[in-house]
Amino acid sequence: MDVSHVDQPAERSVVADVATVGATVRMLRRQRNLTLEALASRAGISVGLISQLERGNGNPAFSTLSQLAHALDVYIGRLFHVADNGSPVVRAGERRSLDVGRPARLDAVHELLTPGRSGVLEALWITAPPGYDSSDSPMSHPGEEFGVVISGTHQVFLDGTCYVLEPGDSITFEGSVPHWYRNAGDVAVTAVWVVTPPNRATAP
């Protein structure tokens, strides 16, 4: 069987997602009268990476998109044009993925639990496979984070201090503290994460 074209629809979807996110980042940046350099400084990422993304290229990590969203004062879902649909319910099978493209084998999957972007928090359903480690891209942003582990054992690092969370354990911390995550176990971690930066964006 010829499988040379099996992945083409998925590849086109990835390209479309990157193009959508890039165009939204460029629009929001210009609305705020920010240069590429100014946004890069706010987000703590390189000018080249933002420029590449705005042109619809690359495959940015979730942490990169999260840093950009905070720097632009919007929820990460805003970068994907997630809009309110009038219902307060998000069905399990209808969660919006906030990962651009198909996650690599050791990447976590982030799905939006909140129905839109009109509130003052964002909630995520996170699945982190064994071996997941985000220490190479620590995050730091305004606001507060709260997480509760549903299954598996999750390591949360706050400025280098490791907190081990078992099922039912929760953690709350200031987002300005550099933080990253690791699943050192042999089963996937499932967790619910809530982030509370205020939504100050004026864009529709």
pLDDT of residue 178: 94
User: Which of 80, 108, 141 corresponds to the end of one domain?
Assistant: 80
What confidence category does residue 113 fall into, taking pLDDT thresholds of 50, 70 and 90?
very high
User: What's the mean per-residue pLDDT of the chain?
Assistant: 83
Over residues 152-192, the pLDDT tens digits come to: 999 999 999 999 999 999 999 999 999 999 999 999 999 99
Clarify whether residues 76 and 96 are in a common domain: no
Mean local confidence (pLDDT), 49-54: 94
| CATH number of the domain enclosing 180 | 2.60.120.10
Question: What is the pLDDT, as a whole number, of residue 49?
Answer: 93
Question: What's the farthest any 2 CA atoms get from each other in the chain?
Answer: 53
The Cα 130–Cα 133 span in angstroms is: 9
**Inside any domain, residue 85:** no
- Judge whether residue 3 has pLDDT over 80: no
Count structural domains, the chain. Answer: 2
Give the structural domain span for 169: 92-195
- List C-alpha distances in Å: 81 to 36, 145, 170: 21, 23, 30
Q: Is position 201 within any domain?
A: no
Tens of pLDDT, residues 56-78: 888 888 888 888 988 998 878 78
Tell whether the model's pLDDT for residue 89 goes beyond 60.
yes
Quick check: is 1 in a domain?
Answer: no
What's residue 60's pLDDT?
A: 86
pLDDT on residue 97: 85
Say which amino acid occupies 140: S
| Domain edge (last residue) among 40, 60, 80 | 80
Q: Which of 13, 17, 39 is nearest to 27 (CA)?
A: 39
Q: Read off the pLDDT band of 7 (50, 70, 90).
A: very low
pLDDT at 102: 56
Predicted pLDDT at 11: 45
- Give the pLDDT of residue 165: 98
Report yes or no: 80 and 21 within 8 Å, Cβ to Cβ. Answer: yes
- Rounded percentage of the chain residues whose pLDDT exceeds 70: 81
Residues 44 and 134 in one domain: no
Are 101 and 167 part of one and the same domain? Answer: yes
Please count the other Cβ atoms lying within 10 Å of the Cβ belonging to residue 67: 23
Residue 59 lies in a domain: yes
Q: Is 168 left (phi over 0), alpha (psi -120 to 50) or beta?
A: left
Contact between 113 and 95 under an 8 Å Cβ cutoff? The reply is: yes
Chosen domain end from 59, 80, 101: 80
